[in-house]
Amino acid sequence: MSLFDVEPVDPRLEAGTTRVRLLVAYDGAAYRGFWPNAGVATVGGALIVALEQVLNTPITLTCAGRTDAGVHAWGQVVTLDAPADRLDLGALQASINRLCGPTIVVREATEVDPGFDARSSAVSRTYRYTVLNRPFPDPFLRFTTWHVAEPLDLRAMVLACDPLIGSHDFSSFCRRPKVFEGQDPASLTRRVVDARWAELDDDLLRFEVTANAFCHQMVRSIVGLQVDVGRGRRRAGDILGLIRAQDRTNIPAPAPPQGLCLWSVAY
């Protein structure tokens, strides 16, 4: 098995192995996303190196969400199959945290049923995006927020959340995956069950969205459009039409990655 294998775990466990679920948090600033990629630092690549060192066996990972470069996670879920005869979950968690911390931390390590898969067993994911809305930036928040200097109309942004709820083709907000010869285009229909803005202390605004799944750059593109509504460049009433248009050229550039965090995954 290659260092760079991250794929759905086979539900049929090999003899002598145990399926393990890891709850992982990470600061994505130093990583080129989760998905392992030869020659660059990624979260998945670092985890595989550490796991193979500790378990002394090739490892294949599955993750609940493939976060992009610079994106963080508090509730990423990872599954793998580990040798049962030398598996000590507490020691495994401590060893991975020693090797990967403090930028990558295993918050929990548990044994799960053989059919559990971090990606395919998930019923929803929740992302949070944080905006610092004041005239001057904060050097201590530069890796976890998007600084927007001009005042934003939070009421308009709250109204702009309503059209997102429900099942829609989010082609306007997603980077289309490559289609190879003989393949059908992947569906970009997603079901959003909750989307909301909240005003926090210290001039921070937080967008939280939950859906059955997300396509590439979907949350950041939604936030980019929502901030345009807050700036007065678009109206909340424009959102549904932009969704139905299924045309990415009508959507502003995605919000920068550092404000985004994979917050939780539900099963």
Q: Which residues are catalytic?
A: 68
In a 13 Å sphere around the CA of 111, the CA atoms on its Cβ side amount to 10
**Beta bridge mates, 19:** 81
By C-alpha distance, which of 152, 148, 151 is closest to 160? 152
- Please give the Cα distance from 159 to 154 (Å, whole number): 9
Q: Mapped to the 3 state alphabet, what secondary structure does 61-77 carry?
A: EEECCCCCCCCEEEEEE
By C-alpha distance, which of 256, 252, 208, 227 is closest to 156? 227
Long-range (24+ apart) CB contacts under 8 A made by 94-99 are 95/50, 95/54, 96/22, 96/47, 96/50, 96/51, 96/54, 99/49, 99/50, 99/53, 99/54
